[in-house]
Amino acid sequence: MDPSRLPDKPRPEPTALSAPYWDGLRAHRLLLQRCSRCGQVRHYPRPVCDACYAMEYDWVEASRVGRVHSWTVCHHAFDPAFKAELPYVLVTVDLDEGVRVQAPLRGAGDDALRLDRAVAIDFEDVDETLTLPCVRLAD
Amino acid sequence: MGATALRDRAAVTGVGETAYTRETDKSQLELTLAASLAAIADAGLDPKDIDGVIPYAAGGVVAEDFITNFGLTGLRYSALTPMGGASPVAALQSAAMAVACGVARHVLVALGRGSIAGGRITRRLAEMPQMRTVGEFEMVQGCNAPAQFYAPMARRHMELYGTSIDQFAEVAMTCRRHAQLNERAMMRKPMTREDHHASRLIADPFRLFDCSLESAGAAAVVVSAADRAADLRQRPVWIGGVAEGHPDSPSAITQRPDMTRFGLARAAPIAFRMAGVTHADIDVAEIYDCFTWVVICQLEDMGFCAKGEGGAFVEGGRIGLGGELPINTHGGLLSEAHIAGMNHIVELVRQLRGACGERQVAGAEVGLVTGFGDLGDGAIAVMHR
């Protein structure tokens, strides 16, 4: 199907809380929220640390290495905007920092996936204002 | 108090529903009101006897609609239980609380789903506040609907425990066989294992026949206080134990420490303890079946078997009529209709009344109904005649 005939994909609407994450992706940096008091890393961004209840936080750049936690292969576009990409693989990745990222797999098929297989997070520029993460196999 | 606070303090005294169809020209409100009137009549009550109402949180029907259409003057309690497919069973808990403490005597719990035309699932979901997180971080990359949210949970379960698509098929075929005994069911054509495996992939490992139906229709129940229930038209079906449970990271499955465990795992021990029954006492179970694997996971989370053993548990006819634990005797969301599990409550009540005809579980005295919704919320009611 001609992608130009499909509806636009949904775009994130960053909040004050999440804007640093999205700005980080634009700069090809994977930034994660970190509690300023106890140091626990959390994701997705939220106001309070569930370990110590502190509301102060900063941002730490993630190593972008991790392991496969799970995945799915999407064969049906519930949102027609994704029709041109079918089938596509979404991988849930355990980052070394202890949180997870879900992102599409690039450069390989799902037959390469196993639990705990090493993967890396990479970046894809959608356009001048949006970059999304993607997953690639690592050695 | 505490552990047994709600035991037998409330009963379901009336059930009702509309026809279940693929499409409808009726509104969600019309369907909801029609099912409500049927449930109230079934209880032998007048609509003006209703003094509490819990409408379905997802959709446009509100307490005001019941006041306006039924001319209610004594509504004392209204609430919402926004937990997706766990909403109806969670509403049983709220209704039981309301009648147990005397705030209300007869609480109506009603759920309708109107036409799906022009309102596809991704648009409905994106508007829900509990989907805000996945809306920002996951829907933007093509993870847009429950099949896609839940598929990674099922895939991990398969990789960890060897759960197989043959076992998924057992759940789908069991629901279909039961639907063949239910004239209300939308899908009554026989389904073989080969049919299941040949159905198209939707979000691997889920095929089309692992997915519940899209339906229009409504169902409703009346929950009455114990001291009112005995005098009504139907034999009461008692709420012995009831609980809702929420998983870790309820707004994002991706971030959940153990994504193969639902909120139900926290609710089930509470409900069993409250009711004072064990798993062996359960004669019939209506288990929320938005996807086949979700049934397998809930059987584990309720403790019918250990984590990882749910796939083997559903084999060999155990969950069919005549088996050790018959489930989804109406056909479930997979083959009767997707009325968000309100149809599961209606079916359990009918089973415990002994009113299910050909599909009746002989001598059913104790049963349970579960709900599963949004990103892993759970609810359970253990009921008895």
Residue A34, helix vs strand vs coil:
strand
Interface check for B257 against chain A (CB to CB < 8 A): the answer is no
pLDDT for the residue numbered B8: 98
**Chain A residues close to B139, C-beta within 8 Å:** 10, 79
The CA distance from A59 to A24, in Å, is 10
Burial of residue B105 (number of CB atoms within 10 Å: 0-12, 13-18, 19+): buried
Q: Across the interface, do B204 and A72 touch by the CB < 8 Å criterion?
A: yes
Q: Say if residues B164 and B296 touch (Cβ distance below 8 Å).
A: no
Q: Say if residues A99 and B255 touch (Cβ distance below 8 Å).
A: yes
Give the gap in angstroms from C-alpha B232 to the nearest C-alpha of chain A.
Answer: 46
Give the gap in angstroms from C-alpha B11 to the nearest C-alpha of chain A.
Answer: 39
Best mutation site among A41, A68, A102, A134 for testing chain B: the one with the most B CBs within 10 Å? A102
- Chain A, chain B: beta-carbon pairs less than 8 Å apart: 104
Would you list the DSSP string of B182-220? -TT-S--S---HHHHHHSPEEEETEEGGGBPPP-BEEEE
Q: Across the interface, do B153 and A70 touch by the CB < 8 Å criterion?
A: yes
Q: Across the interface, do B152 and A71 touch by the CB < 8 Å criterion?
A: yes
- Among B31, B15, B29, B16, smallest CA distance to B216 is for B31
Q: Say if residues A72 and A78 touch (Cβ distance below 8 Å).
A: no
Interface check for B160 against chain A (CB to CB < 8 A): the answer is yes
Q: Say if residues A10 and B139 touch (Cβ distance below 8 Å).
A: yes
**Chain A residues close to B202, C-beta within 8 Å:** 75-76
The ipTM value here is 0.97
pTM of the predicted model, to two decimals?
Answer: 0.97
Q: How many CA atoms lie within 13 A of B97 on its CB side?
A: 14
pLDDT digits (tens, 9 = 90+) for B48-68: 999 999 999 887 899 999 999
Burial of residue B253 (number of CB atoms within 10 Å: 0-12, 13-18, 19+): buried
pLDDT for the residue numbered A1: 54
CB atoms within 10 A of CB B385: 18
> Nearest-CA residue of chain A relative to B150?
A72
pLDDT digits (tens, 9 = 90+) for A60-114: 999 999 999 999 999 999 999 999 999 999 999 999 999 999 999 999 999 999 9
> Nearest-CA residue of chain B relative to A104?
B141
Q: What is the pLDDT along chain B (385 residues), one digit of tens a residue?
A: 467 899 999 999 999 999 999 999 999 999 999 999 999 999 999 999 999 999 998 878 999 999 999 999 999 999 999 999 999 999 999 999 999 999 999 999 999 999 876 555 676 777 788 899 999 999 999 999 999 999 999 999 999 999 999 999 999 999 999 999 999 999 999 999 999 999 999 999 999 999 999 999 999 999 999 999 989 999 999 999 999 999 999 999 999 999 999 999 999 999 999 999 999 999 999 999 999 999 999 999 999 999 999 999 999 999 999 999 999 999 999 999 999 999 999 999 999 999 999 999 999 999 999 999 999 999 999 999 9
pLDDT for the residue numbered B60: 87
CB atoms within 10 A of CB B93: 24
Of B120, B137, B152, which is closest to A44 when you measure between CB atoms? B137
pLDDT for the residue numbered A5: 82
- Among B12, B30, B240, B239, smallest CA distance to B108 is for B12
The CA distance from A24 to B146, in Å, is 29
Max alpha carbon distance in chain A (Å)?
Answer: 51
Strands annotated E in chain B: 10-17, 52-55, 77-78, 106-113, 201-204, 206-207, 217-225, 237-245, 284-286, 366-373, 377-384
The CA distance from A80 to B291, in Å, is 22
Give the gap in angstroms from C-alpha B144 to the nearest C-alpha of chain A.
Answer: 6
Q: Across the interface, do A79 and B139 touch by the CB < 8 Å criterion?
A: yes
pLDDT for the residue numbered B127: 76
Of A14, A88, A110, which is closest to B142 when you measure between CB atoms? A88
**Chain A residues close to B254, C-beta within 8 Å:** 92, 100-102
pLDDT for the residue numbered B2: 65
